[in-house]
């Protein structure tokens, strides 16, 4: 056994393992870009912060084609326009190129900026399995001063769910009546199955008392609240990465294969709507995400 030969072999194995891990990490980041879990501007910031990170070592060509609606020919035109060589990596751009890319991205994929006005009516939405319910429950437990709205639904109760605490369980006719009487601030059919709606009265009462109110509802509902109460603050909960979202959905184990695939397709569409929201909060840690939402409530 040539002891002298072992270290280089070990080094080679370690180096190739590292290269494989780096490629995987970059592939995961490309999925994050394609699904809009991470904005292109955020990816650039990460590349800036660390040139040797997976973001920093991503090729500019891969970066661009991971963005929605950019194919190879469009990519070549953009690179020429920005004066960036196709062999460049994100972390290796010159200051001028970096700036040109930033300006181009802001024009094409505007990041929603925080609005001036604060509101005590907060809507928490986000893709399936991102953990909206868990974050809302955490807020309810630690911040009883904030009212967590209880929705009406035609879905039958799950084991352990309590009437009036988790939901108001109603049948179809009962739901129709709530709608007809104008008692719901918004309502929608979620996952093509059951109807859900937000009772208007408790919210108006709490707001009149100066309390903050949190709605944990789906995207269609968030859009309706925006229409009905334009000063409401819309918060979009993001997963730390696309792979993590897939992992959470699979880990939950409550849906079969077909349903999971359907929900992931829905999640992609939902993620694409995040720019309609005033704020985005990444749910990497429940307590931390909850604290950020509470801080927004002012
Ligand atoms: P679940 O049946 O798992 O409790 O909830 C399913 C989905 O319905 C979740 O995405 C939740 O955000 C949404 N949801 C719950 N209540 C309401 C509501 O009042 N209005 C709307 N639009 N969606 C709701």
Q: How far apart are CA 49 and CA 167, in angstroms?
A: 45
Mutate to test the pocket of ligand 1, among 151, 195, 214, 225 (most ligand atoms within 8 A of CB): 151
Q: Which has more confidence, 212 or 5?
A: 212
Condensed to tens digits (0 to 9), the pLDDT of residues 10-45 reads: 788 888 998 899 999 999 999 999 999 999 999 999
Q: How far apart are CA 27 and CA 212, in angstroms?
A: 41
Q: How far is the CA of 174 from the centre of ligand 1 (A)?
A: 17
Condensed to tens digits (0 to 9), the pLDDT of residues 45-92 reads: 999 999 999 999 999 999 999 998 899 999 999 999 999 999 999 999
Q: What is the pLDDT of residue 128?
A: 87
DSSP string, 149-192: PPEEESSPPPTT--BTTTEEE--HHHHHHHHHTT-EEEEEEETT
Mutate to test the pocket of ligand 1, among 217, 223, 248, 262 (most ligand atoms within 8 A of CB): 217
Q: How far apart are CA 157 and CA 28, in angstroms?
A: 37
Is the CB of residue 40 less than 8 Å from the CB of residue 67?
A: yes
Q: How far apart are CA 60 and CA 85, in angstroms?
A: 8
Element (H, E) at 87: none
> Percent of the chain, pLDDT > 90?
78
Residue nearest (by alpha carbon) to ligand 1 atom 20: 197
Secondary structure string (H, E, C) spanning 102-165: HHHHHHHCCCCCCCCCCCCEEEEECCCCCCHHHHHHHHHHHCCCCEECCEEECCCCCCCCCECC
Q: How far apart are CA 44 and CA 188, in angstroms?
A: 37
Does the pLDDT of residue 200 top 70, yes or no?
A: yes
Average of per-residue pLDDT across 158-183 = 97
Mean pLDDT of the chain: 92
Q: How far is the CA of 196 from the centre of ligand 1 (A)?
A: 6
Q: Which of 235, 239, 261, 238 is nearest to 250 (CA)?
A: 261
Q: What is the pLDDT of residue 2?
A: 47
What tokens appear for 227 in the block? 């229409």
């Amino acid at each position: 056994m040539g002891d002298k030969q072992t270290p280089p072999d070990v080094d080679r194995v370690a180096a190739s393992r590292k290269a494989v891990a780096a490629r995987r990490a970059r592939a995961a980041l490309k999925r994050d870009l394609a699904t809009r879990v991470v904005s292109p501007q955020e990816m650039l910031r990460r590349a800036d912060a660390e040139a040797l990170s997976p973001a920093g070592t991503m090729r500019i060509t891969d970066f661009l084609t991971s963005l929605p609606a950019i194919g190879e020919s469009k990519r070549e035109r953009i690179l020429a326009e920005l004066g960036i060589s196709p062999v460049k990596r994100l972390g290796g751009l010159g200051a001028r190129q970096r700036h040109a890319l930033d300006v181009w991205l802001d024009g094409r994929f505007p990041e929603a900026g925080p609005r001036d006005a604060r509101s005590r009516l907060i809507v928490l939405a986000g893709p399936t399995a991102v953990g909206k319910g868990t974050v809302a429950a955490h807020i309810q437990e630690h911040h009883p001063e904030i009212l967590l709205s209880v929705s009406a639904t035609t879905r039958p109760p799950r084991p352990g769910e309590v009437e009036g605490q988790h939901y108001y369980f109603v049948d179809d006719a009962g739901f129709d009546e709530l709608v007809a009487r104008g008692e719901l601030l918004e309502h929608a059919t979620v996952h093509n199955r059951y109807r859900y709606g937000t009772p208007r009265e408790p919210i108006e009462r709490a707001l009149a008392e100066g309390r903050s109110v949190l709605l944990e509802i789906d995207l269609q509902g968030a859009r309706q609240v925006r229409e009905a109460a334009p000063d409401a603050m819309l918060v979009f909960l993001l997963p730390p990465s696309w792979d993590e979202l897939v992992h959470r959905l699979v880990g939950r184990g409550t849906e079969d294969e077909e349903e999971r695939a359907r929900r992931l397709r829905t999640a992609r569409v939902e993620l694409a709507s995040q720019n309609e929201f005033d704020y985005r909060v990444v749910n990497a840690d429940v307590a931390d995400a909850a604290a950020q939402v509470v801080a927004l409530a002012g």
